[in-house]
Amino acid sequence: MDFELTKSQKLFQQMIREFAEKEVKPIAAEVDEQERFPSENVAKLAKLGVLGIPTPKEYGGAGGDHVMYTVAVEELSRVCATTGVIVSAHTSLCEDAILDNGTPEQKKKYLPKLASGEWIGAFGLTEPNAGTDASAQQTMAVADGDYYILNGTKIFITNAGEADVYVIAAMTDKSKGNKGITTFIVEASTPGFSIGKKEHKMGIRGSATCELIFENCRVPKENMLGALGGGFAIAMKTLDGGRIGIAAQALGIAQGAMDETVKYCKERKQFGKSLAQFQNTQFQLADLQTKIEASRYLVRAAAWKKDHGMPFSADAAMAKLFAAETAMEMTTKAVQFHGGYGYTREYPVERMMRDAKITEIYEGTSEVQRMVIAAKLFKK
Amino acid sequence: MNKAEYKDVYVYAEQREGKIQSVALELLGKARVLADALGEKVVALFPGYKNKEAANELIAWGADKVIVMDAPELENYLTEQYSQAMSQAIDKYKPSIVLLGATTIGRDLGPRLASRLATGLTADCTSLDISEQRELLMTRPAFGGNLMATIMCTDHRPQMSTVRPGVMQKGVKDTNRKGEIEVLDIKFDSSKFKVKLVEKVKENKGKVDITEAKILVSGGRGVGNKEGFAKLQALADVIGAQVSSSRAMVDAGVMPHEVQVGQTGKTVRPALYLACGISGAIQHLAGMEESDFIIAINKDKFAPIFGVADVGIVGDAHKIVPLLTEKLSKLVTKK
Amino acid sequence: MNIVVCVKQVPDTTVVKIDPVKNTLIRDGVPSIMNPDDKGGLELALQLKDKCGATVTVITMGPPQADLVLREAFAMGADRAILLTDRAFAGADTLATSNALAGALKVIPYDLVITGRQAIDGDTAQVGPEMAEHLALPQVSYVVGCEYKGGNNFRVKKETEDGYEILDVEGPAVFTVLASGFDARYMSVGGIVDAFEKEVEIWPASKLDIDPNKLGLKGSPTKVMRAFTKATKAAGQVYEVDAEQAVDVILEKMKEKFII
């Protein structure tokens, strides 16, 4: 048993932390303020191989692992949650989905481009009437010769508009319910595919979140991902992996807020003492750092299990549930410690608090995570 | 080696385009003190071309003797040419001590020479003394200026050290001083000349060297980036100051090395040093704590810079500097 | 082209602090990093490799833990790494260090040797030129730009106090570079994954072409007699006021000192 990162994971952490400090942090406030997708940093991350960390070298990836990937998302989110989720959605929801479920031809065609970051990836499951109840899919895919014709709408899709490849769930046989859902790889250039309205969000404002519109969108049959009717299982398994990424994002946000709070409490003086000298500060921050550290262990354990081919669904749910709630608590307290300043945009904790909220919602709300965890509890 | 054969304190009299560098005069001042303590002479080693007359200036500043090496090969500083000249002089005269300025030239020539002579060299000394055993005590900062170390070179001669400009005090110039001038012919081995000077470019023409500035507005990590430094420049423009920088911002590529204050940059002694967003790593303090008056602005009230500042302001330089610029420019236009 | 880069693992002196009570150096928890100027040197080597093809060998002298900077060099793109580690090297001053590095260089092929101008823990800037002398190679220090001109020829830009010089150099040569001239690349993820699979060659003193008397403490003409921390001057007054008031304080003090 070993609780340390490996030598290469540590060296990677050194690199990505330096990258986050030098390249990401300086533009984080601007990206939030302007709701701007940080293309320049995504390009730099692509060049370094950060968009293909767990993808094997034979498919043009870095040949790393998911623990390393969580380190990337954590360190990036520590200074900019937007950048964290871009990497997470790309890697977990698109690249991993193709790696885990694709045919050799699909892997050869898509993975090198995704791993190198030449193409950005996204994933489409949520619909206006199919959120937490993902089985209520209304996007239809009808076979037509060598093609499937897709019609319908997806909403709240991360990286939408920026992405070149989308993994899309659609109903191929309504009568079969969950077993009638199939996933497809849809390229952005496919006729009949378009991007709808862009959401204006509370947090992660630099991340592109849009509607996807399918109007007689003709997807070649060879782009079916996994078996006909196997889409729901693929989507759920993909989300299990995605949750590790979002948990890492929440962890990063929480640690970033803690870093800012510690710095501020050392500087800020009230009643003749620095805030750091008050026992209330010390005790509250001690409790929070304990939760952050616990989140980190949950995140890394879930990633480690995925890397070792072990079941990790409940682990990912616990990691995401706990890390997200810790991020929300930490950032709320961070604003409180900063007082009036914390409520202004002069300090980053206000942004971090807005960013933290989404981690309790997307890729399965905290309630869904509890359902997943409870289901495992009562299974026996 | 017979140490008794080696005597006198030698100074490398650095010149550029015929102009003797200030650091050489500072070294003569220190060499004078060391030589008097030893009861020995101060000798200047003066390589150059068509510049013999300047030898008298070295005597006026404290040299008892000047060894002039005059050759076209020595017109511009090039490592191998100067190393040949200097090593031939040192082989012939056997100095006990050789001091060089820690300039880009001295720091290139010094180690090359020490290696050729198989002796020790101590870089960037901040103080030089003579021990009871008549050895040279060389004190220098180490560990990024966090620690001082006293170094000796007891079994090898000459004892060599470099000293940064501005660290030692010049003596008093006396144009009536008498001294000896000796011309040394150098036999060059041109087969070893592998580096050719193509072009020499002066980049900051018209700009004052930060070591010469009366007022320095200096920025550190808290200033952050080029935009932050533009605010400092605006302030500097209003009060006729120069902008300087901490090491962190030079390492980050925000500011050029020429304006770096600190142990690895320049030592400055302005009338006012305004430190903005500089935490005050010891290596930085080493370069500016001799300033006449220091005002520091920093968000962190525990920043070490406040330990040397005459006036400390706990606050954000990003806010205070533009406000200060605005008020100062009003004052200036009123006049 | 064979390029050898000499690097040093150094404590990050920017985070070294002094214990305010004991007045001693706090070394605990200070991270070890690749010396910044050396990293700039490695970047130059890798740029030359990218442009004209080269094998880049990285050498460091240090304790076994210095292995980590060589892994970092691999992850940035170096091809070969050699760690000079032996008790015989301990206590080396710059001359003894330069002798060890030169002793290693004598047994490997090179067309160009690059190192940083100086290390942030010593700041001497001496090892590069001293090593160049042992190898009888021309040197250019303070290099901020370099262009390969074919054959053995390089054109370099050297930073000086008041500008720069352009120099033509006939190689093989030693360049000592400034970090500011070469914006070092980040390690790539793939490079990091591979870095620990590659072999770092461990060389004891016996593998070098050098008289053992020139190594370590024995080969060091300079000796540290005493180390101490420096006393700082008494602190002035510190104001915790808002920006407006702060400006007034500064203006008042500037007037007092006849600066305005």
Residue numbers of C between 102 and 161 with CB closer than 8 Å to B: 118, 120-134, 136, 138-142, 155, 158-161
Nearest to A26 among B225, B300, B301 (CB): B225
HEC sequence for C130-149: HHHHHCCCCEEEEEEEEEEC
pLDDT at B207 over 80: no
Mean pLDDT, residues C196-220 taken together: 96
pLDDT for A266 equals: 86
- Write the pLDDT tens digit of every residue in C139-177: 999 999 999 999 999 999 999 988 999 999 998 999 999
Domains B3-192 and B215-334 share a fold: yes
pLDDT at C13 over 60: yes
Whether residue C195 lies within 8 A of chain A, CB to CB, comes out as: yes
Residues of A engaging C, defined by a Cβ cutoff of 8 Å: 7-8, 11-12, 14-15, 18-19, 47-50, 52-53, 57, 61-64, 68, 269
pLDDT at B335 over 60: no
pLDDT for A267 equals: 77
* Residue C232 pLDDT level (bands cut at 50, 70, 90): low
* Residue A195 pLDDT level (bands cut at 50, 70, 90): very high
pLDDT for B2 equals: 87
Cross-strand bridge partners of residue B48 = B70
Q: Could you tell me if C174 and C115 are in contact, meaning their C-beta atoms sit under 8 angstroms apart?
A: yes
Q: Which range among A225-229, B143-147, C223-227 shows the weakest confidence by mean pLDDT?
A: B143-147
Question: Quick check: A64 and C189 CB within 8 A?
Answer: yes
User: B215-334 in CATH: which number?
Assistant: 3.40.50.1220
d(CA A128, CA A142): 20
Task: Delimit the domains of chain B by residue range.
Answer: 3-192, 215-334
Q: Output the pTM of the full model.
A: 0.86
In this structure, which amino acid lies at residue A111? L
Q: Is A154 helix (H, G, I), strand (E, B) or coil?
A: strand
pLDDT at A271 over 90: no
* Residue C229 pLDDT level (bands cut at 50, 70, 90): confident
Cross-strand bridge partners of residue B200 = C165
- Write the pLDDT tens digit of every residue in C132-146: 999 999 999 999 999
Q: How far is B42 from chain C (nearest CA, A)?
A: 23
d(CA A89, CA A156): 12
- Write the pLDDT tens digit of every residue in A259-268: 999 989 987 8
Task: Delimit the domains of chain C by residue range.
Answer: 2-214
Strands C153-160 and C80-84: unpaired
What DSSP letter does each residue of B231-258 carry, written as one string?
A: HHHHHHHHHT-EEEE-HHHHHTTSS-GG
| Selected residue with higher pLDDT from C162 and B220 | B220
pLDDT for C230 equals: 65
Q: Chains A and C: how many Cβ contacts under 8 Å? A: 51
pLDDT at A139 over 70: yes
Whether residue C189 lies within 8 A of chain A, CB to CB, comes out as: yes
Phi, psi dihedrals of residue B163, rounded to the nearest 5°: -135, 135
What end-to-end distance do the CA atoms of chain A give, in Å?
Answer: 27
* Residue A311 pLDDT level (bands cut at 50, 70, 90): very high
- Write the pLDDT tens digit of every residue in B10-21: 999 999 998 999
Indicate the fold that domain B3-192 takes in CATH: Rossmann fold (3.40.50)
Long-range contacts of range C154-162, CB-CB < 8 Å, 24 or more positions apart? C154/C112, C155/B198, C157/C181, C158/B104, C159/B104, C159/B257, C160/B104, C160/B200, C161/B103, C161/B104, C161/B209, C161/B258, C162/B202, C162/B203, C162/B204, C162/B209, C162/B258
pLDDT at A143 over 90: yes
Q: Is A96 helix (H, G, I), strand (E, B) or coil?
A: helix
- Write the pLDDT tens digit of every residue in B134-182: 999 999 987 766 678 999 999 999 999 999 887 888 899 999 999 999 9
Tokens 């879930």 correspond to: A302
Nearest to C240 among A18, A48, A269 (CB): A269
pLDDT for B134 equals: 95
The burial class, CB within 10 Å (0-12 / 13-18 / 19+), for A309 is exposed
| Structural tokens at position B193 | 């000349």
Report the share of chain B in percent with pLDDT over 90.
70
Question: Quick check: B204 and C163 CB within 8 A?
Answer: yes
Q: Could you tell me if A147 and A219 are in contact, meaning their C-beta atoms sit under 8 angstroms apart?
A: yes
- Write the pLDDT tens digit of every residue in B247-301: 888 888 889 888 999 877 888 888 899 999 999 887 788 889 888 899 999 998 8
- Write the pLDDT tens digit of every residue in C22-73: 656 676 778 899 999 999 999 999 999 999 999 999 999 999 999 999 999 9
* Residue A227 pLDDT level (bands cut at 50, 70, 90): very high
Of the candidates B21, B78, B111, which has an alpha carbon nearest to the alpha carbon of residue C222? B111
pLDDT for C21 equals: 62
pLDDT for B42 equals: 97
Q: If you average pLDDT over every residue of chain A, what do you get?
A: 96
Question: Quick check: B252 and A267 CB within 8 A?
Answer: no
Report the share of chain C in percent with pLDDT over 70.
92
Question: Quick check: B79 and C134 CB within 8 A?
Answer: no
Question: Quick check: C72 and A11 CB within 8 A?
Answer: yes
Pick the CATH number of C2-214 from 3.40.50.620, 3.30.1330.60, 3.60.20.10, 3.40.50.300: 3.40.50.620
Spatial neighbors of A366 by CB under 8 A, at least 6 apart, are A321, A324, A325, A360
Q: Is B304 helix (H, G, I), strand (E, B) or coil?
A: helix
Measured CA to CA in angstroms, residue A176 lies from A136, A151, A171 at distances of 12, 18, 9
